[in-house]
A and B are shown apart, each in its own frame.
Chain A
């Protein structure tokens, strides 16, 4: 979270919120996410995102690399994902330039209701987040459907479901 002194500063409107506030009291922005996450980069832009200049001391401390392994329960396939960048979950569609890092086509993604751009997974400040991209059949975290475009933190051993496809996540920190 973006603590400043003993307050959370809303990244959207600048309002100072008490520690523990989940939605900004002024503008309703979800606070643990670090800001409004509504603008979706186009897939093309995603490919050529410029390398962010790395600041001194930033590594190691906050951006400790995490590896996320997902185990797709119906096929038993395990995929190890490097979470140093955002992971798009969905189904490959070359015609529309959609190249998900976690492509569920071969696991029966279409039949099980996985959208082409279904959700994204990313890490921030050592926590892993999943965010549904307004998929048709929804994303579920531990059997609870999540609201689109809101990041939900998940932990090692949690159960994620994209449409009806279930998978278990394992998180390894990678020093």
Chain B
């Protein structure tokens, strides 16, 4: 009985198309076998063996069907919209009497050929702008320019609503098709800062506008722009974001300047299935917003989730998003929410698994199911991959894959500075200083002098009994988060 290896492309090995009939497969096999037979002039034992293996599977109707299905589930067949690729730090483990660590890298990307010629997604969005007193001057001016740009960047059939908030929310322009939007320009001009910052009111008004026209085949999205902290309505806002996400509406949060609450906005975006960004200077608002819109148009999979099915002797120590930006992921209930997959931007997730002692033999340590909804037609997608390791006395000397090391190196730094802020929040200054020093060392090692210096600056302030600067904290959090693997 032949064993199926879904990783191998049997059709390509035989040189036939996936829809080839039995006769064509037989022909191809005969020809290939004759050509590469070890006894023939230019024999190739390995090639010959592969051709035989491919034929063993494809000649048998049941096996071929099973093979096709496995390929599709793993995203390897041309029918699958997404490719799910796994890398693990080790494949063989010594049977020790202590726990061990195995890292698994999950690379999720759109199937290259199929999706390049895709259509642009339709947007149904609301722009929610903080109009508190602190937004006066350069900030509001740049937001106005960015909002006007937004109109240019949207398609005529997209929907946009404009909402401002301070102590209360005001719908300046209700949701309208961009081609009919005559009053947007005057609405933009009428944004005048004054008052406090109550994010919840603004968020609610924005969500309501989007909800009115929400459709499964559109990208329903709220963009929140703020420069301040909100007081007392964080929990309400987070609840609203979660609720919206479950209804298919995502939220992105952009913080301008240094005074906003980074943890809150991060969590708001995480609950809302979107992203959060740090805008250090007002002039960046335009570029960041434009990029965001382009990203939204390129969404191919929404509500992406990774279901992690662990063997009883395995548990997760950490789950991280490695690209497009670093994030510590929540793995409660062994379901990891991943938000959206963009056409041109793979999502890479790293799992850190603890393996308890186990007997010799090959075992499946985890089964991963990636689920999501296609943005184009709300059709659901499910892909499955298993991770196996072999417990053996004969452990292979296998260098961990370079790609995995690259991502882990960045995660290590990001985690160090996150721990520093956490320690600081708990009042443990000595511990925080230590973590920041470690982070600085690693940053200098990686050639990130700018961020390394930012970390050392905060170390200096802390060790002299000072408080860290808000700017330094944001620079480090969002700087280390944005550390990406070197590009070719």
How far is A143 from B89 in the complex, measured between Cα atoms in Å? 18
Q: Does A19 contact B (CB under 8 A)?
A: yes
Q: How far is the CA of A32 from the CA of B409 in the complex (A)?
A: 12
A107 located at the interface, meaning its Cβ lies under 8 Å from any Cβ of chain B in the complex = no
B101 touches A30 (CB 8 A): no
Report A-chain residues with C-beta under 8 Å of the C-beta of B411: 23
Q: Judge if B13 is at the interface, Cβ distance under 8 Å.
A: no
Q: Which residues of A sit under 8 angstroms from B99, Cβ to Cβ? A: 18
B263 interface hit (Cβ, 8 Å): no
Interface string of B377-421 (1 = CB under 8 A from A): 000000000000000000001011111111011111101100000
CB neighbours of A145 from chain B (8 A): 406, 485-488
The segment out of B37-45, B145-153, B189-197, B440-448 that lies at the interface is: B440-448
Q: A28-B442, A127-B397, A127-B399 are in contact. Are A149 and B101 (CB under 8 A)?
A: no
Residue of B nearest to A17 (CB): B101
Number of interface residues of B (CB under 8 A): 43
Q: Quick one: CB contact mask for B4-17 with A, threshold 8 Å, 1 for yes?
A: 00000000000000
B100: Cβ under 8 A from any A Cβ: yes
**Bound CA–CA A115/B100 (angstroms):** 39
Interface contact B406-A146, CB-CB below 8 Å: yes
Determine whether the beta carbon of B100 is less than 8 Å from that of A28: no
The answer to whether A27 and B438 touch across the interface, beta carbons within 8 angstroms, is yes
Bits for A110-149, please: 1 = Cβ < 8 Å to B, else 0.
Answer: 0000000000000000110000001000101111111111
Whether a CB of chain B sits under 8 angstroms from the CB of A150 is yes
Cβ of B251 under 8 Å from chain A: no
For A18, give the chain B residue with the smallest CB separation.
B101
From A6, A147, A152, contact of B486 by CB (8 A): A147
Interface size range of chain A in the complex: 35 or more
Contacts A148-B446, A152-B402 known; A19 to B486 CB distance under 8 Å? Answer: no
Partner of A149, one of B354, B438, B445: B445
Query: Contact between B405 and A152 (Cβ–Cβ < 8 Å)?
Result: yes
B103 at the interface (CB under 8 A from A): yes
Is there contact, CB below 8 Å, between A19 and B96? yes
Contact A22 B446 (CB under 8 A): no
Q: Is B405's CB under 8 angstroms from A38's CB?
A: no
| With contact pairs A20-B101, A22-B103, A150-B409 given, residues A28 and B439 touching in the complex (Cβ less than 8 Å) | yes
B131 shortest CB reach to chain A, Å: 42
Whether B108 is near chain A, meaning CB under 8 Å from some CB there, is no
A126 to B100 CA separation, bound complex (whole angstroms): 22
Given known A145-B485, A150-B405, contact A18–B441 (CB-CB < 8 A): no
Query: Does B102 have its Cβ within 8 Å of any Cβ on chain A?
Result: yes
Q: Residues 36-52 of chain A: 1 if any B CB is under 8 Å from the residue's CB, otherwise 0? A: 10100000000000000
User: In the complex, which residues 73-117 of chain B have their Cβ closer than 8 Å to any Cβ of chain A?
Assistant: 89-90, 93-94, 96-103
In the bound complex, do residue B402 and residue A146 qualify as a contact, i.e. CB atoms below 8 Å apart? yes
Kindly supply a per-residue 1/0 record for chain B positions 204-246, scoring 1 wherever the CB is within 8 Å of any chain A CB and 0 otherwise.
0000000000000000000000000000000000000000000
Residues of A within 8 Å of B400, CB to CB, are 22, 32, 153
**A21 B405 Cβ-Cβ under 8 A:** no
Asked if A21 contacts B101 (CB within 8 A), the reply is: yes
- Give Cα distance in the complex from A126 to B103, angstroms: 23
Write the chain A residue with the least CB distance to B96. Answer: A6
Residues of A contacting B103 in the complex (Cβ-Cβ under 8 angstroms): 20, 22
A36 pairs with B405, CB closer than 8 A: no
A6–B400 alpha-carbon span in the complex (Å): 20
Q: Which A residue's beta carbon lies closest to that of B90?
A: A20
Given contacts A20-B102, A27-B416, A126-B397, 6 further A-B contacts (CB under 8 A): A28-B413, A141-B402, A144-B403, A144-B406, A148-B447, A152-B405
11 sample A-B contacts, Cβ–Cβ < 8 Å, listed by A number: A22-B408, A23-B412, A28-B412, A30-B405, A32-B400, A127-B399, A140-B488, A145-B485, A147-B406, A152-B402, A155-B399
- Could you tell me which A residues sit within 8 Å of B by CB distance? 6-7, 13, 17-24, 26-30, 32, 36, 38, 126-127, 134, 138, 140-150, 152-155
* List of 10 A-B pairs having minimum Cβ-Cβ separation, nearest first: A153-B399, A28-B412, A20-B101, A23-B412, A6-B98, A144-B402, A145-B486, A27-B438, A20-B100, A19-B100
